């Protein structure tokens, strides 16, 4: 049987007739952010724009729709075909734009509220492979040892090569207490690793702090939420109450980003003036600038910011602002390079779009997208080992030794972490060196 391709059949004509007015009416609503859906003069398409619609391609789309309806091996309903077409339109734009059905839209809202059932990883598509951007602190994923850039090849026996990003996320989420097995490929290894994890309620606490040594603070931000800056300000005050701070390590490693305003407000804790970040996009609402304010609790103490390949988006905004304003030293490895802005646009049927609408730029005009932040001092991940095997045994090495007056279990834990975390230890050493230089200048 031969099917003619020279003319549009009647069903395709009906689709074309239905599609055209929908396409015309949708232009300003899809293009504008949620707060700007009113059809104002600068968002309405002009006559020339409507005349430029590719009618031949729309006709071809209608033909494809009709051929699938008539000839595909299994019957497919119109709703499924249309939603697949919308998903295809968005997925081919960039890895972060996507069409969200009602369940996916609900799942995204749950994520932004900071609590959901899962294993605690931020994932994305890199070279068409499902890749771990970063494990979230104190979750099954981080405790099991999953790492940034691990490639997930299987989820409970389902290969990921045919899954969309959202389908993979849906498979990994589930009821707390249920098991999940994932298979990963790690750079430099020939064979895959398998992890069996137990899902938990993932509550994302974004700020932790402690003193590494008297006078030297450690501020860990695992992601940026609405209250992150307020919590960080409180943490700085708590450390200052224990004595004068001579330096601070700001740890943004494996921080996948989050709320833009949260990142700007955290940068403002260390910057007392100047630009923090700006965005550029096609719409007027996508042109934004954010500047620091004089209300800055930590504008002069020596600062080292730790970043790595899991530092993305809002984390890169903070690191880029501090680097461009020469406020502190960026240490670690190149960051992830996610410098695009997504807006969540609800649709009238309870579904939604996540659409990339702008790009981030650092104060000096550097695009973060696909570039990332290059550290001032490169320090790779590692563990500090004692090279001299003839090192003398000391009282402190004996099991059950009596503790000195200043030694606590917390102090022991910090010392062990400094040995296990080479980057953190080097950051502390640099802070001490900066203090020596500052004292000589005084």
Sign of the C-alpha dihedral computed for residues 264, 269, 270 and 272 taken in this order: positive
Q: What is the pLDDT of residues 263-296, one digit of tens each?
A: 999 999 999 999 999 999 998 888 999 999 999 9
* Choice among 97, 222, 313, 335 that is catalytic: 313
SS3 (DSSP) at 345:
strand
What is residue 422's DSSP assignment? H
Whether 324 is catalytic is yes
Task: Reply yes or no on whether the pLDDT at 402 is more than 80.
Answer: no
Locus of tokens 């224990």: 242
Alpha-carbon distances of 393 from 229, 388, 397, 401, 404, rounded to whole Å: 45, 12, 7, 13, 17
- Which residues 6+ apart lie within 8 Å of 372 measured at CB? 316, 334, 335, 336, 337
Q: Mapping DSSP to helix (H, G, I), strand (E, B) and coil, where does residue 238 land?
A: helix
Residues facing residue 350 across a β-bridge: none
Backbone torsion region of residue 393, taken as left when φ is above 0, otherwise alpha when ψ lies between -120 and 50, otherwise beta: beta
Domains of the chain as residue ranges with CATH:
10-76 (no CATH), 115-203 (2.30.42.10), 207-381+407-441 (3.90.226.10)
202 in Cβ contact with 120 (< 8 Å): yes
The mean pLDDT of 79-98, rounded to a whole number, is 91
Q: Give the pLDDT score at 51.
A: 59
Q: Residue 313 catalytic?
A: yes
Highest-confidence segment of 21-25, 87-91, 359-363: 359-363
Non-local (6+) Cβ contacts of 17 within 8 A are: none
Q: What are the tens digits of pLDDT across the range 46-75?
A: 555 555 778 888 899 999 999 999 999 999
Average pLDDT over residues 195-210: 88
The whole-angstrom separation of Cα 25 and Cα 375 is 47
Name the catalytic one among 183, 324, 340, 421: 324
Three-state secondary structure along 38-104?
CCCCCCCCCHHHHHCCCHHHHHHHHHHHHHHHHHCCCCCCHHHHHHHHHHHHHHCCCCCCEEECHHH
Model confidence over 171-190: pLDDT tens digits? 998 889 999 999 999 988 98
Q: What is the dihedral of CA 323, 329, 331, 334, to 10 degrees?
A: 10
Listing DSSP states for 154-209 in one string gives EETTEESTT--HHHHHHHH---TT-EEEEEEE-TT-SS-EEEEEE-EEEE---EEE
pLDDT value of position 5: 37
Our CA dihedral for 236, 424, 260, 334, rounded to 10 degrees, sits at: 160
pLDDT in tens, 219-243: 999 989 888 999 999 999 999 999 8
Annotated catalytic residue, options 268, 335, 338, 421? 338
Instruction: Please answer whether residues 172 and 156 qualify as being in contact, where contact means their C-beta atoms are separated by less than 8 angstroms.
Output: no
Q: Which two tokens stand for residue 229?
A: 């800056």
Percent of the chain with pLDDT over 70: 78
Number of Cβ within 10 Å of residue 396's Cβ equals 12
Residue 26: is its pLDDT beyond 80?
Answer: no
Active site residue 51: no
């Amino acid at each position: 049987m031969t099917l003619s391709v020279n003319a549009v059949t009647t069903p395709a004509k009906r689709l074309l007739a239905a599609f055209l007015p929908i396409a015309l009416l949708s232009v300003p609503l899809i293009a504008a952010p949620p707060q700007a859906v009113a059809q104002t003069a600068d968002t309405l398409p002009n006559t020339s724009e409507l005349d430029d619609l590719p009618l031949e391609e729309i006709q071809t789309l209608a033909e494809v729709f009709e051929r699938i309806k008539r000839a595909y091996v299994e019957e497919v309903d119109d709703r499924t075909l249309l939603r697949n077409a919308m998903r295809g339109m968005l997925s081919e734009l960039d890895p972060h734009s996507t069409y969200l059905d009602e369940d996916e839209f609900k799942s995204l809202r749950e994520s932004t509220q900071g609590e959901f059932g899962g294993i605690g990883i931020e994932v994305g598509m890199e070279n068409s492979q499902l890749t771990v951007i970063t494990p979230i602190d104190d979750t099954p994923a981080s405790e099991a040892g999953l790492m940034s850039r691990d490639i997930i090849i299987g989820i409970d026996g389902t290969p990921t090569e045919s899954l969309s990003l959202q389908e993979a996320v849906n498979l990994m989420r589930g009821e707390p207490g249920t098991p999940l097995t994932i298979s990963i490929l790690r750079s430099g290894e020939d064979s895959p690793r398998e992890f069996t994890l137990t899902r938990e309620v993932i509550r994302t606490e974004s700020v932790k702090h402690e003193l590494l040594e008297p006078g030297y603070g450690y501020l860990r931000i695992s992601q940026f939420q609405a209250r992150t800056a307020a919590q960080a300000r409180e943490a700085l005050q708590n450390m200052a109450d224990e004595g004068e701070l001579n330096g601070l390590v700001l740890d943004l490693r494996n921080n996948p980003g989050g709320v833009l305003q949260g990142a700007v407000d955290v940068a403002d804790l260390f910057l007392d003036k100047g630009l923090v970040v700006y965005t550029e996009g096609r719409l007027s609402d996508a042109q934004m600038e954010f500047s620091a304010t004089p209300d800055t609790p930590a504008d002069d103490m020596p600062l080292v910011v730790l970043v790595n390949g899991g530092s993305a988006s809002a984390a890169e905004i903070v690191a880029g602002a501090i680097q461009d304003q020469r406020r502190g030293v960026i240490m670690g490895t190149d960051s992830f390079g996610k410098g695009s802005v997504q807006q969540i646009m609800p649709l009238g049927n309870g579904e939604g779009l996540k659409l990339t609408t702008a790009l981030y730029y650092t104060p000096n005009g550097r695009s973060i997208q696909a570039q990332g932040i290059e550290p001032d001092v490169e320090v790779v991940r590692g563990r500090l080992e004692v090279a001299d095997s003839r090192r003398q045994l000391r009282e402190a090495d004996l099991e059950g030794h009596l503790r000195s007056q200043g030694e606590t279990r917390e102090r022991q834990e910090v010392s062990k972490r400094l040995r296990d975390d080479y980057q953190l230890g080097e950051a502390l050493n640099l802070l001490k060196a900066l203090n020596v230089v500052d004292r000589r200048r005084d």
